[in-house]
Amino acid sequence: MGTYGGRLIQTIRLNYGSQAVATGSYVTLTATAFTTGTSLREDARSCEIFDSGGGEMLLAYGASGGEQTAMRVFPGGTSGPTPLLLNKGMRLALKVADASTPATVSTGVFIMNLYV
């Protein structure tokens, strides 16, 4: 999470113990640290993800029921800042990828830093 990721604009965190994520439907991610709410407060150009849930996840954007996949998140997360263009006001959501084991993730944490 160094300077090569750009300026940190937002941190998003999901505790799977409080909100399990499964293959069936997306769970809205809520921003923490810099702001509250369920949408991005600025345009983002890259992200860095830590995920200890153990499943392959789909990170998506868009309104509930109309989500579009932005990227696959593999167990552990990303190995550093990853290019990902997201617009201010977007809703982010997460679900377990269809072929992933386990089909429901109920322990661990998802943390996403967004950079500009």
Q: Where are the alpha helices (DSSP H) in the chain?
A: none
14 within domain boundaries:
yes
Tens-digit pLDDT string for the chain (116 aa): 444 568 998 889 999 999 999 998 999 987 554 444 567 888 999 999 999 999 999 999 988 899 999 999 999 999 989 999 999 888 899 999 988 788 999 999 999 999 99
Segments forming the whole domain that contains residue 9? 3-100
20 within domain boundaries:
yes
> What is each CA distance from 38 to 4, 5, 78, 86, 100, in whole angstroms?
26, 22, 22, 14, 26
pLDDT of residue 32: 52
pLDDT of residue 38: 61
110 within domain boundaries:
no
Q: Is the dihedral of CA 52, 56, 62, 66 positive or negative?
A: negative
112 within domain boundaries:
no
Q: How many domains does the chain have?
A: 1
DSSP 3-state assignment of 108? coil
94 within domain boundaries:
yes
Burial label for 16, CB within 10 Å (0-12, 13-18, 19+), is: buried
109 within domain boundaries:
no
pLDDT of residue 104: 94
pTM: 0.86
The residue type found at 100 is S
44 within domain boundaries:
yes
